[in-house]
Structure 1
Amino acid sequence: MLVRVLLLWLCALATAAAKLPPLPDMGAPSDRILSPTDERRLGQAFFRNLHQHVQVSDDPMIQDYIASLGSRLTGHSDMAGRPFHFFVVMEPEINAFAGPAGYIGVHSGLILATRSESELASVLAHEIAHVTQNHLKRAFAAAKKLSIPMAAAMLAAILVGTQSPEAAQAAIIAIQAGSLQQQINFTRAHEQEADRIGLQILADSGFDPRSMPAFFERLQQSTRLSGGRHIPEFLRTHPVTTSRIADTRARATAFPYRQYTDSLAYLLVKSKLKVIGSKDPARLISWFQQRLLRGTAAQKAAARYGLALSYQALHRLPQSRRLLEDLLRQFPEQPQFVDALAQVELALGETEAALQRYRLALTHFPASTMLQLTYAQALLQSGRFQEARQWLLQLKANGYRLPVIYKHLSRAYGGMGKTAEAQRYLAEYYYAIGDLKQAIRYARIALKMARGDRILTAVTQERLRFFQREEKARKR
């Protein structure tokens, strides 16, 4: 993941290069390396390019949860008013990373590896601290101080990574050998600072600070048991030493001890990720059934939810429905169960019942992004394109950032017979996932179809020129 993240940074820099001002002298402080506007552009380019390398989850429930958890944590950080963007990468590796402008990603594998919500929160808090303490900017400043040969060798190693990540990793290690202690000290300082700040964010947000050293230690122990053959990616990019764990534990014990309870939303997300990541849902049925025999009420509810999703994946819809109806009676305030039951009803062809369920739920949870998006998807599925468009445009106006919204808008406009608008939004979708070639292609199609509509033609022409400028900047 290290090599891929570096490559994404390079792509983002290339895309933003035409807009960025000349860099200041090498000795400039970190807050002058990039202006807030330039950093935001870099972050957006980073996120777009990310979609070309990994699968970013567009599941409304998963995104709603990780964004909510992240918001809770950033609200107690040094940058409470700064926009952050949290997302889940659908890969089994145990990893998380912070990109420019507060873009923070966490792998589905890491979420599943956590044993408590506080452990997941500890990883996010650590990444938030990297952002609030400007570690990315400071790392950029430190890299500028490398000698030209070393910087050139590092770039060559990264380029090797496009063909062989293993070779790139080995080359980077070899290149750094001459200044190893300098690099280790720099990394250690950042990691220790992120630990210290992250612990405070955890405690202030109502999570267990002791979860941070506990999770790090468990990852380290699993590496030892495997003889070093299976090192979690998180440990490669966030080196953990025994002394660092001891220091973090000492700091954590300074906070008052109390019991912490996992939210049901966290447990439900873990169940859903387990089902999504499984190639054999039938085997999951016995796994979830075993967990119905023990645990708290919330844990058993999460097991029933996972069981219902497993049945749904196997098209055993009546069994899934019975479980979800029972869960909804027991937990009427959980919109996740409403959504899952409505999805079953849609699969059974009971469209009106599903839509009515969504409408009623939205009167109880009007701010639920998950319900708004899944309701819009249900409207699309039932052919109610104009109503779906209204919900999607409202989500877009409220700042919904995942690219899938543009694909849905394209489908809505296409269903309404507005083919030029449909192609224009398809162009926006491809741009949002970093595919400029397809973005330009569909923008040109939209431009041809928009003849006679002066406003749409002008808008599409401007976007096409914008895409072409970005493509030109990437080739520099």
Structure 2
Amino acid sequence: MAPSSSGSCRGFPEVPLIRITCAAFLAIAVALGSSRSLLADELPDLGDAARVDLSPQLEHKIGERIFNDIRLHEASYVDDPDISDYVNLLGGRLVAASSNPAGSFQFFVIRDNTINAFAMFGGFIGVNTGTLLTAQSESELAGVLAHEISHVTQSHLARQMAREKQSSIATMIAMAVGVLAARSNSQVASAAIASAQAGSIQAQLAYSRDFEREADRFGFQTMIKAGYDARGMGDFFGRMQQAGRVYENNAPVYMRSHPLTVERISDMESRAQNVPYRQVAGSLDFHLVRARLRVQMGSSGEAAGEFSRQLREKKFASEAGSRYGLAYALLKAKDVVAAQKEVDALLALKVSSPMIAGLAAETRAAGGDRAGALNIYRSALQRFPQSRALAYGYADALLAGRQYDEALRFLDSELQLYSSDYKLYGLQAKTFAALGKRLQQHRAQAESYFLLGQLGPAVEQLQFAQQSGDGNFFEQSQVDARLREMRKLQLEEAKEKKNGG
């Protein structure tokens, strides 16, 4: 488990996402004050109205810090490998078809019923569970993500900040907090702005109409190139416009931060009409993810009752989705026998997905059939080698079965391919701990913390590794070398903070 920390940002309300965003954006002042090599131009003197440029490297650094804060401290962050796999697979398909196919992007989900999605510095894109549950097809969801991807590829957030020429670092931070806060919660964003006395910023919370039209245009091209239904974007945003009329002054958050106009909707519909019609096959995983979220958003019993009704009345968008939801709800309710029955019915549909395989393995394990679970994982990983959810599930199953040597071999092979996966290092640390290899345990845990942006705890773990009293000369030397690297990074961070202060 990663360490937690607390803190506040003077002048801003103590609301989790705002507190995190504010704390992370204080890093902008530090980075701008000290990382001159990362900027196209030096930071202007306070009061200078010249433009402040953020390089791609600095944008990524800022976005990464915000993302790390969110996943470490924000309770609404969805830490579900199946859901994360899905949005990143979908997002990756869109990025490959975007104007910057080589760009670095990370997609994540926030547990919130409101309809919203937001793009942060450096290609970090969040989407609310409400958006996933409201979209009626994967093409509609793809339209939303393609729009947000285009905000990133066209550097809209940085361009907006530069356009305002906010030379005061404090004002720039307040503006950035407000802009991102609006993507999450309009009311909280307004409070943040008022408390920061950033009067003129409120008018700039929403992306400009020019930026919105540009994101529409590039986003549309992206989703078409990626093979999605051309009508998806217009259908989703059209429904949002109708919702705005119903809600009047209480419009969905997405409409407040991404203002819709009749002209924009008309443009989307016109573009779709000019594209030859193409039948787009439905996405099984889209329905599975929605079913999984519905179970997580309420009680297992209520979810099981709803999916049972859908199947009984044959009123469902996807039978596999409803059967998956019922099986998952029953497993969550610890009714393993009933869950296994529904998993068998699901498998009888002859549909294939890493999510179905993972649920089948979990159900077998819950019923005491660990060997059966391991066999399912092995077979599924042959078909879906990129699935992080299956990899974590298999490693956990090996640990539960005390097959520690096999677990280490598997994790080593995975880390050769996914060296930036902090969860793999965490599982490796658990395995070494079970084997009593303390040096290796602390070394692996250090890498997990480091990838989460927790440099201090990572250094502490390496110090524990030095003091462990086990490990050979080669392993000790590796720990010493890595500790020197991290301490050097600590000194650089301290220097940045001092210069930025």
What's the TM-score once normalised by structure 2's chain length? 0.81
Q: Does 1:175 align with 2:194?
A: no
CA contact (8 A) 2:118 2:127 kept: yes
Question: What SS class does the counterpart of residue 51 from structure 1 fall into?
Answer: helix
Shift of 1:136: 3.0
Match for residue 295 of structure 2? 275
Task: Quote the residue 1:21 is aligned against.
Answer: 37
Q: Report if the CA contact (8 A) 2:17-2:70 is conserved.
A: no
Relative to structure 1, the CA distance from residue 401 to residue 15 in structure 2 (aligned partners, 3 Å threshold; closer, same or farther) is farther
Matched, 1:255 2:271: no
8 Å contact kept, 1:60–1:374: no
Q: Cα–Cα, structure 1 residues 473 and 351, in superposed 2: closer, same or farther, change >3 Å?
A: farther
Look up the match of 1:325: 344
Number of the residue aligned with 1:80: 101
Aligned to 2:489: 466
Cα deviation for residue 458 of structure 1 reads 2.5
Pairing partner for 2:236 from 211, 215, 229: 215
1:8 deviates by: 6.0
CA positional deviation for 1:4 = 6.0
Shifted more, 451-460 versus 344-353: the winner is: 451-460
Between the aligned residues of both structures, percent identity stands at 34
SS at 1:330 equivalent? coil
Q: Deviations over 1:270-308 (max 9, x none)?
A: 111111222x11111221123223357x70110010000
Report the residue type matching 1:241 in the other structure: T
**Whole-Å Cα distance in 2 between the matches of residues 394 and 157 of structure 1?**
44
3-state SS in 2 of match to 1:141 = helix
| Alignment CA distance shift 1:168-1:444 (3 Å) | same
RMSD between superposed Cα atoms in Å: 3.4
Q: For the residues of structure 2 that align with 1:377 and 1:139, how far apart are their CA atoms?
A: 45
Equivalent in the alignment of 1:355: 374
Mapped contact 1:15–1:45 kept (Cα < 8 A): no
SS in 2 for 1:97: strand
**Deviation of 1:130 (Å):** 1.1
Native 8 Å contact 1:450 1:456 kept in 2: no
Q: What is the aligned length?
A: 464
> Residue deviations 1:33-60, cap 9 Å, x none?
3444444433433322232443443322
SS of match in other structure, 2:218:
helix
Q: CA deviation at 1:268?
A: 0.3
Q: Which residue of 1 aligns with 2:211?
A: 190
- 1:226 to 2:250 alignment: no
Contact 1:339–1:358 (CA<8 Å) still a contact in 2? yes
Q: Once the two structures are superposed, what CA deviation does each residue of 1:295-344 show, in whole Å capped at 9, x if it has no partner?
A: 57x70110010000010011011111111122123225323222111101
Change in Cα spacing, 1:269 to 1:184, as seen in structure 2 (3 Å) is: closer
Given candidates 395, 400, 411, the residue that maps to 1:381 is 400
Residue-by-residue CA offset, 1:175-211 (whole Å, 9 max, x unaligned):
117x94xx48961111110001111111121212222
Which runs of 5 or more structure 1 residues have no equivalent in the other structure?
none
- Is the CA contact 2:110–2:128 (under 8 Å) kept in the aligned structure 1? yes
Q: Secondary structure at the match of 2:125?
A: strand
Greater shift, 94-103 or 263-272, is seen at 94-103
1:138 maps to amino acid: R
Matched, 1:456 2:479: yes
* Distance in 2 separating the partners of 1:445 and 1:19: 32
| 2:292–2:325 contact (8 Å) kept in structure 1 | yes
Q: In 2, distance between residues paired with 1:444 and 1:58?
A: 29
Instruction: Verify the 8 A CA contact 2:304 2:329 in the aligned structure 1.
Output: yes
Secondary structure of 1:424 counterpart:
helix
Whether 2:427 is the aligned partner of 1:411: answer no
Q: Which amino acid aligns with 1:206?
A: G
Q: Structure 1 CA distance, aligned partners of 2:206 and 2:326?
A: 48
Any residues of structure 2 matched to 1:369-448 within 5 Å, and which? 369-399=388-418, 401-448=420-467
Kept after mapping to 1: 8 A contact 2:143/2:220: yes
| Aligned counterpart, 1:60 | 81
Q: Which residue of 1 aligns with 2:10?
A: none
Which range moved further: 42-51 or 21-30?
21-30
Secondary structure in structure 2 of the residue aligned to 1:79: coil
For the structure 1 residues 29 and 127, does the alpha-carbon distance in structure 2 shift closer, same or farther, using more than 3 Å as the test? farther
Per-residue deviation, 1:401: 4.5
Of 22, 26, 29, 1:7 maps to: 22
Instruction: Assess if the C-alpha contact under 8 Å between 1:157 and 1:172 holds in 2.
Output: no
Task: Find the residue that maps to 1:375 and give its secondary structure.
Answer: helix
TM-score normalised by length of structure 1: 0.85
Q: What residue in structure 1 maps to residue 262 of structure 2?
A: 242
Residue ranges of structure 2 left out of the alignment (5+ in a row): 1-15, 182-187
* 1:340 correspondence with 2:356: no
